[in-house]
Structure 1
Amino acid sequence: MAPDPTPGGTDHWHAPLRHVRAAELSTDTGQSSGMTRREAVSGKSVGAEKVWMGEAHVAPGTASANHHHGDSETGIYVVSGRPVFVFARDGEEVRLTPEPGDYVFVPPWTPHREENPGDEEAVVVLARSSQEAVVVNLPPGSLA
């Protein structure tokens, strides 16, 4: 028995998959200084309603601006390089130093920044619980 179509008439059992080629990723998304985000899966690119995915590149010897992602949860997969994720806990800056293959979770509203003290570009894959790349840039300085 076939499932009922949604009120708009779309049969979710037969919706097409979408293929986003690496060359099609767009930098027309929320940005912070010191890094470049590239959007892959979003409302704009594929009609996503609940998820945003893309990647971020942090050049060697640089750091992003302090920022948060509003009410979005963010999952990060480290592809290459040695990024450092900085946030505040109990008035002190804390540094996470994941390696390629590791994951990082950023809770909603948590101010943080990405740094790359290494000599190769750091590349991470991002997934957010909203279909938009919410980026709220914060003033420079310590997160503590």
Structure 2
Amino acid sequence: MATDIVYVPSPNRTQASGGQTSGMTRTNAIAGQASINASIMTAAPRTSSGVHHHGEQDTIIYALSGKGSVLTEGGKKRVDLGPGDFCLIPKGLEHQEVNDSDEEVVWVITRSGDSANVVNVDNWTKP
């Protein structure tokens, strides 16, 4: 664990995180340094992630650019996020990130735990 400031290089020099879902690219910003981790999620236009959850990790999203959405409740509930918006996804909550727009979406993701835990599921298991 870190005992001093951890410098984070610009996102284009970070390595892809181990936790990925189809349709989204996640790059680590801070991982393995503390009891929280941070990454950048980039979604190309007209893409969506697979349905997934983050196990025991709470997730906070900060929408940096573009307009994207998070689906929950079997895809029935939709929360739209634009630049400057925050969103909390509680641990274990199945969700899907969606970019229905014609522009790239970039979110800063912070999670509990020293590295991202992504649990992909084939379909929604909880409506």
Normalization by structure 2: what TM-score? 0.91
Structure 1 counterpart of 2:16 = 27
Which of the pair has more CA radius of gyration?
1
The answer to whether the aligner puts 1:40 opposite 2:25 as a matched pair is no
- Unpaired stretches in structure 1, ≥5 consecutive residues: 1-11
Kindly indicate whether the alpha-carbon contact (under 8 Å) linking 1:112 and 1:143 is maintained by their aligned counterparts in 2.
Answer: no
Structure 1 counterpart of 2:52 = 67
Shift of 1:28: 3.8
CA separation in 2, counterparts of 1:86 and 1:92?
Answer: 5
Kindly indicate whether the alpha-carbon contact (under 8 Å) linking 1:66 and 1:143 is maintained by their aligned counterparts in 2.
Answer: no
After TM superposition, the structure 1 = structure 2 runs for residues 1-144 of structure 1, keeping only pairs within 5 Å, are 15-22=3-10, 23-43=12-32, 48-88=33-73, 93-140=76-123, 144=127
Give aligned-pair identity as a percent. Answer: 34
Shift of 1:92: 6.4
Q: Determine which structure has the larger strand proportion and give its number.
A: 2
Question: In the comparison of the two structures, how many residue pairs are matched?
Answer: 125
Structure 1 segments (4+ residues) deviating >4 Å: none
Shift of 1:141: 5.8
CA separation in 2, counterparts of 1:92 and 1:119?
Answer: 21
CA separation in 1, counterparts of 2:17 and 2:88?
Answer: 24
Q: Secondary structure at the match of 2:101?
A: coil
CA separation in 2, counterparts of 1:18 and 1:24?
Answer: 15
CA separation in 2, counterparts of 1:79 and 1:60?
Answer: 15
Shift of 1:76: 0.4
The one-letter code matched in structure 2 to 1:137 is N
Shift of 1:142: 8.3
